[in-house]
Amino acid sequence: MNKRKSLSEKFIEFNTNKRLANVKKKVLLAVSGGIDSVVMCNLFHQAKFPFAIAHCNFQLRDKESDADAQFVKDLAKKYGVEFFVKKFDTKKYAEEKNISIQLAARELRYAWFEELRKEKEFNLLATAHHLNDNIETILFNLTKGTGVKGLRGIPVRNGNIIRPILFASREEIEQYQQEHKLEYREDSSNAEDKYTRNKIRHQIIPLLKEINPSLENTFAEKIELFTQLETMYEKQMKKSAAQLFLPRGNDIYIPILKLKKTQNASSILYEYLKHFDFNAAQVEDILAAVDAEAGKQFLSSSSRIIRDRRFFILTKLADKDSSIQFINEEEKEVKFKDFLLVISPTKADTKITADKNSAFLDKAKLEFPLILRPWKAGDYFYPFGMKLKKKKLKKFFTDEKIPLNEKENVYVLESNKKIVWVVGYRIDERFKITAGTKEVLRLQSKSL
């Protein structure tokens, strides 16, 4: 009969297999004083892995917080290792940032841990997350809605942060603590059900264990599977994304025809667009617009997608909103900077005036949305009257003897990355009216 492995043996095996802590790496342990971090300290000590201890005093439980800090200081003295502690005004930070206390504490501790790790030249930072924490995280992710990544829960390693006891169940940790008679501090807030995670821990998991008493073992097996599936999934997503999302300058172009032919388009779009703050419902709306008319827009908190004739165009609002204006086909006038652009479709036999503040264009040659933006170095066009001779705007301004102060306020109108009109100066030869023109688009620039 095989001898059952001790938690110490499992700890060394897990860290060796996952290439985490070992006798050669100097690791900073994040220690709260609770049972999990106290057991982690002892496991490091038993394995003779070099470590130091860092403790955050968030000052949220008055004397209890100070007592936790003193306990962890004494723990470091017991093991003869370096000890670091820092007090935080967590409530003030949360109010200033307008975030929850939990999020404030998380931001403060990880920022300090990383600063300390670099300053003291530790190889890694270790937190005491364990298997039950991972199960709670997965259930939490499922409850709020998750992608494939959410199914594997807490990663074993994230950059310089490691979870060296992520394999261990709460039951194993409690048993180890009792066997080694380890003292620890109990955080009174852990018993409260006002936090979602505590509700999952105290109410949901006990119910699930009635259905499956081996819940921890089942999840441990599935988490490994989910991690492998995520790797495969991400590899396929990257391959599909490279074919579907085409960078053009600061924008991303998504070919509509190719999108229609793409299998699992909904998943591919979601995995890509979630990084631009689009949600699953918006992704479905975007897909529903593949056969819609040009001009439809979709907005997230940080980005915009416009349905062009042949592409969905993704652009970041922060980069574009202040200096670029999109013009949809149905718009009649647009206020931009210090001028007003009036847009009026008209008949092909319209009399063309020699006014530099007006542009008469063949509408059929335009692709909406048009883009109005400041000119930039490297811009070029084919000036009207020069028989498709290409000219850089910088050279055009020099030839036209345009003063420097006026150059700084010149704007161009674009159609599908082609300059249509240098506003107030000249249109592009490629968009001029010809004998075959059926509909003319007249644009007038008026100062405000």
pLDDT tens, position by position, 116-143: 999 999 999 999 999 999 988 888 878 8
pLDDT score, position 320? 41
Q: State the CATH number of the domain containing residue 420.
A: 3.50.40.10
Identify whether 2 is part of a domain.
no
Residues 276 and 360 in one domain: no
pLDDT score, position 319? 44
**pLDDT, tens only, 203-246:** 888 898 889 888 888 888 888 788 788 788 888 888 888 889 99
Identify whether 235 is part of a domain.
no
As a whole number of Å, the CA-based R_g of the chain is 31
Flag whether pLDDT at 199 surpasses 60. yes
Mean local confidence (pLDDT), 426-436: 92
Q: Which two tokens stand for residue 247?
A: 């960078």
Residues 87 and 203 in one domain: yes
d(CA 167, CA 173): 10
Task: Give the domain-ending residue among 176, 198, 229.
Answer: 229
Instruction: Give the whole-number percent of the chain exceeding pLDDT 90.
Output: 49
Residues 367 and 251 in one domain: no
Mean local confidence (pLDDT), 339-347: 85
Residues 346 and 333 in one domain: yes
**pLDDT, tens only, 363-414:** 999 988 888 989 988 899 999 988 889 999 999 998 988 876 678 789 999 9
**Which amino acid is present at 163?**
R
**Average pLDDT across the chain, whole number:** 88
Residues 75 and 222 in one domain: yes
Residues 329 and 191 in one domain: no
Identify whether 418 is part of a domain.
yes
Residues 60 and 113 in one domain: yes
Task: Give the domain-ending residue among 180, 201, 229.
Answer: 229
Q: Shortest CA distance to 309 belongs to which of 247, 254, 232?
A: 254
Identify whether 237 is part of a domain.
no
Three-state DSSP at 279 gives: coil
State which H helix or E strand residue 30 sits in.
strand 27-30
d(CA 333, CA 344): 8
Three-state DSSP at 312 gives: strand
Flag whether pLDDT at 144 surpasses 80. no
Residues 340 and 296 in one domain: no
Identify whether 291 is part of a domain.
yes
Q: Are 440 and 381 in contact (CB under 8 A)?
A: no
Q: Which two tokens stand for residue 52?
A: 């130091």
Residues 313 and 353 in one domain: no
In 212-321, alpha helices (H): 215-244, 256-261, 265-273, 280-288, 317-320
Specify the number of domains making up the chain.
3
Residues 44 and 87 in one domain: yes
Residues 216 and 251 in one domain: no
Q: 152 lies in which domain range?
A: 7-229
Identify whether 285 is part of a domain.
yes
Tell how strand 124-126 and strand 161-162 pair up: parallel
In 35-187, alpha helices (H): 35-47, 63-79, 90-97, 101-119, 131-144, 170-179
Largest Cα–Cα separation, the chain: 99
Residue that wins the pLDDT comparison between 424 and 62? 424
Q: State the CATH number of the domain containing residue 181.
A: 3.40.50.620
CA 380, distance to chain mean position in Å, is 35
Three-state DSSP at 113 gives: helix
| Confidence category of residue 321, pLDDT binned at 50, 70, 90 | very low
Task: Give the domain-ending residue among 320, 336, 361.
Answer: 320
Identify whether 378 is part of a domain.
yes
Identify whether 240 is part of a domain.
no
Residues 309 and 182 in one domain: no
